[in-house]
Chain A
């Protein structure tokens, strides 16, 4: 005997009803939470940029941002200028931190001009030049912010990822990895851009040598590490011409 729920017509009606219900539910949830989520993302960008220039609440071995309620105030206090570099032309834009690096990279690929945001921070008389970078890890996107001085020496770095393996690639956002970049040079001795390589079998695991353009890789996270190397190389290189103008 056939049950009511085995009928084809019932199955189809059930499926349609379920899809409409679930679709409406998800659309409603996504729309109503969107403003809050976007606000969280905006604050996170400010926190990331501040983190890279050393304004954070680090305590012990884990990386801690400045709290969300203090972030907007600190951001306007420490970030003195926000620049957009477009084809070598530098303009000021106080919304530059909202530029979507992913979109700009896609523009560059499509042959259009890529806008490069650069944030200038002042802390204790030091000037920091903070640039966003973005690339690919093992599973998904990885990105970060690197704070440089006028000679393109790293003063601080923040990395994040969308879905790297916990315990392995995900450790790029741990302090032991990010802090390794501090003091490392992006240029070689003759001033050419060399980047920083996340190197396996590094002869310098304590990272005493800051001019070797290398930091020690995370065991078991080779592809994520290579992704970090690649995004530093490709994205920070674009800022080199700007840093040359600083010397004159």
Chain B
């Protein structure tokens, strides 16, 4: 890649698959369960995390030499909470509709362990540009899994995608439903998100044996 050195592009590409925050590092599982019942929420959450993690990593990286190590976790929490609150306030003032869609996610972003994880593991030891790339990469890797889980849960659970009835109408019995197909209500419940994530992990490790740990 011309724009980024090989080392830098690795920061973006690694978390997408071989070092994915959800399937390999097993971070951010909580939000993957909570908001993936529909595709739209998954997409919105992914974009929000992308924004906060990219920016937060840069801020922490800039502060890395002056943060006292004893209270670094608290400092990280304060930074992410401040960022999220400011974004929320600005949206409420200038894009009220969007802020209402996002309101549920604000609290979830602050508690997302991927964010704290990347601050702690990367931004504290690297420069702002590399930290930014790392943040974007990890958020994208998180987003890919979220969108995959959201896609299957919404399709199989509600028979819709982004609210569109792609499989026909379950009450009017059109499309697939005319053939006796039924939505699987289980898919809408959180435990099924865990099972979908489990299946993704299984598929990924079957395809790439290097990811399987030895015991």
Contact = CB atoms under 8 A, between A and B. Distances in A.
7 contacts: A3-B69, A5-B66, A5-B68, A6-B68, A26-B85, A166-B35, A220-B37
Contacts of A62: 163
Interface string B53-74: 0000000000001111111001
| 8 tightest A-B CB contacts, nearest first | A167-B37, A166-B41, A167-B38, A36-B93, A11-B68, A33-B93, A40-B96, A220-B188
Contact of A167 (B41, B85, B94): B41
A29 B104 contact: no
Contacts of A164: 104
A108 interface: no
Contacts of B90: 29, 33
A74 interface: no
Interface of B: 34-38, 40-41, 65-71, 74-75, 78, 82, 85-86, 89-90, 92-94, 96, 100, 103-104, 107, 153-154, 157-158, 163, 171, 185, 188-189
Contacts of B100: 160
A168 B188 contact: yes
Contacts of B36: 167
Given A40-B93, A167-B158, A220-B37, A11 B185 contact: no
Given A15-B68, A25-B82, 16 more contacts: A6-B68, A6-B70, A14-B68, A15-B71, A19-B78, A29-B85, A29-B89, A33-B90, A37-B89, A37-B93, A40-B92, A166-B40, A167-B36, A167-B154, A219-B185, A220-B37
A22 interface: yes
Interface in A138-171: 160, 162-168, 170
A163 B103 contact: yes
Contacts of A170: 41, 104
Contacts of A166: 35, 37-38, 40-41, 104
Nearest to B185: A219
B34 A165 contact: yes
B163 A220 contact: no
Contacts, number: 90
Interface in A27-63: 29-30, 33, 36-37, 40, 44, 61-62
A18 interface: yes
Contacts of B185: 219-220
Nearest to B183: A219
A205 interface: yes
Contact of A219 (B78, B103, B171, B188): B188
A220 to B, nearest CB: 4
B71 A5 contact: no
A11 B70 contact: yes
Contacts of B189: 220
B66 A22 contact: no
A220 B37 CA distance: 10
B92 A37 contact: yes
A18 B66 CA distance: 11
Given A166-B37, A205-B171, A44 B68 contact: no
Nearest to A33: B93
Given A18-B75, A62-B163, A5 B92 contact: no
Contacts of B93: 33, 36-37, 40
B69 A6 contact: yes
A11 B73 CA distance: 13
Nearest to B186: A220
Contacts of B37: 165-168, 220
